[in-house]
Amino acid sequence: MTTETKINTLLEKVEQDYRRALDVYKEARRFRIKSKEIISQLPDFLTEHRWYSFKEYGDGFYLETYVLDEPEADDIIKKLKLSGIFGLKPTFKTSSGGWYYKGSLMIGEFEVTIMVDGGSSPPNCRIEETKETREVTTYKAICPETGEEL
């Protein structure tokens, strides 16, 4: 006697959801294994900090802080400079009026990009308000059959 399972649309959906969740699990497990290798080689001040984001980014990794107050961000930035970060560059955020600093470290063959959200204004740097006016042209479509404007 053989038992036959009838496949229906709902069962197919459950199976698809299961396979998708299994793929997500496998990817998370792969990332966890790879991350442990990278994290073991990072300086202590980076591994003990609370981060907003840590993810794979291209062929490397990306670390990002929460928005930090200036003294805390400046402390991390100072330690990053001492630890050999390269390309550390400040950028002004017009949305919040603050700064973020971004640079990279090489850990083995992987580049770890670090973004510190906060920090003091760089020396010899000032912010000037600029205003731009642009002419805006809008278009409308008119359909002769219905007389509607779209």
Closest alpha carbon to 59 in 20, 23, 110:
110
pLDDT at 95 over 90: no
Q: Tell me, yes or no, if the pTM score tops 0.85.
A: no
pLDDT digits (tens, 9 = 90+) for 83-93: 989 999 988 88
pLDDT digits (tens, 9 = 90+) for 7-17: 789 999 999 99
Closest alpha carbon to 109 in 59, 55, 43, 57:
59
What proportion of the chain, given as a percentage, has pLDDT over 90? Answer: 59
pLDDT digits (tens, 9 = 90+) for 19-45: 999 999 999 999 999 999 999 999 999
pLDDT digits (tens, 9 = 90+) for 110-149: 999 999 998 888 877 766 666 777 777 666 666 666 556 5
Residues 6+ apart with CB under 8 A from 42: 105, 107, 112
Distances (CA, A) of 17 to 6, 12, 28, 31: 18, 9, 16, 21
Q: Which pairs with CB-CB distance under 8 Å and at least 24 residues apart come from 65-69? A: 65/115, 65/116, 65/117, 65/118, 66/117, 67/96, 67/98, 67/117, 67/118, 68/116, 68/117, 68/118, 68/119, 69/118
Q: What is the pLDDT of residue 1?
A: 57
Q: What is the pLDDT of residue 82?
A: 92
Q: What is the pLDDT of residue 147?
A: 59
- For residues 95 and 147, the answer to whether their CB atoms sit within 8 Å is no
